[in-house]
Amino acid sequence: MLRCLALLVMSMFLALFSHAQITSTFDINDEGWTLSDNNLNDPQTVNYFPAGGNPGGYVSATKTSTSQPYFWTSPAKFGGNVSYFSYGQELTFNLQVDHVATVHGSAR
């Protein structure tokens, strides 16, 4: 009986302190990621690509306005207070930013 109780307590301890992973792999779709301006007034189209990510798929978007910053917004599964589970853990991500230069003025 004592042995079963010890095993139960140990299992509860491990379950309490095990680290949950919240991930986006983009294997099926964009998983709810969005891109918009600071006021959420100008949502951008997020394009999903099933291959070419690291590994799996990826999402991509192109800003339509250069006058203001845009922000990626994560889906609901990343919300809430996850600091208890994430304290001392790693945050990893892959980000690629392509800048397309524009030429203003007329050709000479």
**pLDDT band at residue 14 using 50, 70 and 90 as cut-offs:** very low
pLDDT at 85: 66
Strands 58-60 and 34-37: unpaired
**pLDDT band at residue 4 using 50, 70 and 90 as cut-offs:** very low
In sequence order, which residues have a C-beta less than 8 Å from that of residue 22 and are 6 or more positions away? 77, 78, 82
pTM: 0.63
Which letter, b or e, does each residue of 81-97 get, where b requires 16 or more Cβ atoms within 10 Å of its Cβ? eeeeeeeeeeeeeeeee
pLDDT at 8: 47
The larger pLDDT score, comparing residue 9 to residue 20, is at 20
Strand partners, 58: 49
